[in-house]
Amino acid sequence: MHPPSTGVSKSGGSDHAGTTRTCPTFDGELDALHRRIDPDRHDTIYVVGDAHGCIDELQDLLAELQPAEDDLVLFVGDLVRKGPDGRAVLDLVRSSPNMLSVRGNNEQKFIDGEVPADRFDDVFGYLESMPAAASFGDSLVVHAGIDPRRALSEQSLHDLLETRAVPPENGYDGPFWFESYEGPPRVFFGHTVLSEPFATEWAVGLDTGCVHGRELTAYDCSAREFVRVPARKTYQHRDQAEIVDPWAWADR
Ligand SMILES: [Mn+2]
């Protein structure tokens, strides 16, 4: 039997979205790339998984969420690449006062000049301004995850953008970082394509492979539930071996 895929376990107990108990803190370069959000400034915070240019599905999701001006729509990054119109997704986020995204490994590829970013030349400054982490209360939003073997203060930018399985291997065979991670903080993440979203006391996985013809998912931190919209089409094929059942490890 799988645990329920929505909400916080009873043992979680606390109000993760609204109560400031522990402020996640980083050191070094990540300290400057950490955006602290005052949850009291927002009515509801929604955290959204990897959009990868799926602007139509993002509009569908926003139509479901109906975010107000005093809500915050917070993205786990990878707004761009793979899908139909990354520029449209980035433009929507950067022009909306109630939206913010941490950077994903795909934004970082632009920043590092690893891939051509011709259509993003004029917004390069915005890409560089994207934080690597955002936090509210004792919740933390990063693109990929954190290395559970080390303290938050010992994470690198690479850790936050690329972690999937616990090193030395970092592929789709696991063991995944969220199997052994115990917070605080509770970490919201994307990057690893999941067969369904999942929430445990310490991790909330939101990349449900929209660009691969699956779903775009948000977590409503007030209602403590997922909001999911289907992809309109498959923009990029993905092998089943690279889609993780987030609960498989719980049965091991
Ligand atoms: Mn991604």
Sorted by sequence, the CB contacts under 8 Å of residue 246 that are 6+ apart come out as: 178, 194, 195, 196, 197, 198, 205
Examine residue 4 and state whether it is found in any structural domain, yes or no. no
Closest CA to 102 of 36, 175, 156: 36
Q: How far is the CA of 104 from the centre of ligand 1 (A)?
A: 7
Q: How far is the CA of 251 from the centre of ligand 1 (A)?
A: 26
Q: How far is the CA of 159 from the centre of ligand 1 (A)?
A: 15
Q: How far is the CA of 223 from the centre of ligand 1 (A)?
A: 25
The partner residues of 99 in beta bridges, in order of sequence, read: 73
Q: How far is the CA of 158 from the centre of ligand 1 (A)?
A: 14
| pLDDT at site 21 | 55
Examine residue 104 and state whether it is found in any structural domain, yes or no. yes
Q: How far is the CA of 24 from the centre of ligand 1 (A)?
A: 24
Q: How far is the CA of 2 from the centre of ligand 1 (A)?
A: 25
Examine residue 193 and state whether it is found in any structural domain, yes or no. yes
Examine residue 190 and state whether it is found in any structural domain, yes or no. yes
* Residue 28: both structure tokens together: 């070094």
Q: How far is the CA of 43 from the centre of ligand 1 (A)?
A: 28
Q: Residue 120 phi/psi, 5° resolution? A: -120, 10
Examine residue 2 and state whether it is found in any structural domain, yes or no. no
Q: How far is the CA of 52 from the centre of ligand 1 (A)?
A: 7
Examine residue 8 and state whether it is found in any structural domain, yes or no. no
Examine residue 3 and state whether it is found in any structural domain, yes or no. no
Q: How far is the CA of 100 from the centre of ligand 1 (A)?
A: 16
Q: How far is the CA of 39 from the centre of ligand 1 (A)?
A: 26
Rg (CA), the chain: 17
Q: What is the pLDDT along the chain (252 residues), one digit of tens a residue?
A: 344 444 333 333 344 444 445 688 999 889 999 999 998 999 999 999 999 999 999 999 999 999 999 999 999 999 999 999 999 999 999 999 999 999 999 999 999 999 988 899 999 999 999 999 999 999 999 999 999 999 999 999 999 999 999 977 888 988 999 999 999 999 999 999 999 999 999 999 999 999 999 999 999 999 999 999 999 999 999 999 999 999 887 665
Q: How far is the CA of 13 from the centre of ligand 1 (A)?
A: 31
What's the farthest any 2 CA atoms get from each other in the chain?
50
Residues in the chain: 252
CATH number of residue 87's parent domain: 3.60.21.10
| pLDDT at site 169 | 83
**Domains identified in the chain, total number:** 1
Examine residue 151 and state whether it is found in any structural domain, yes or no. yes
Q: How far is the CA of 98 from the centre of ligand 1 (A)?
A: 22
Q: How far is the CA of 49 from the centre of ligand 1 (A)?
A: 8
Parent domain of 223: 28-251
Pairing of strands 215-220, 45-48: antiparallel
Q: How far is the CA of 12 from the centre of ligand 1 (A)?
A: 28
Q: How far is the CA of 78 from the centre of ligand 1 (A)?
A: 5
Q: How far apart are CA 204 and CA 112, in angstroms?
A: 28
Q: Residue 39 phi/psi, 5° resolution? A: -65, -20
Q: How far is the CA of 179 from the centre of ligand 1 (A)?
A: 20
Q: How far is the CA of 182 from the centre of ligand 1 (A)?
A: 23
pTM of the model: 0.91
Task: Give residue 49's region: left, alpha or beta (phi > 0; psi -120 to 50).
Answer: beta
| pLDDT at site 7 | 37
Residue type, 71: D
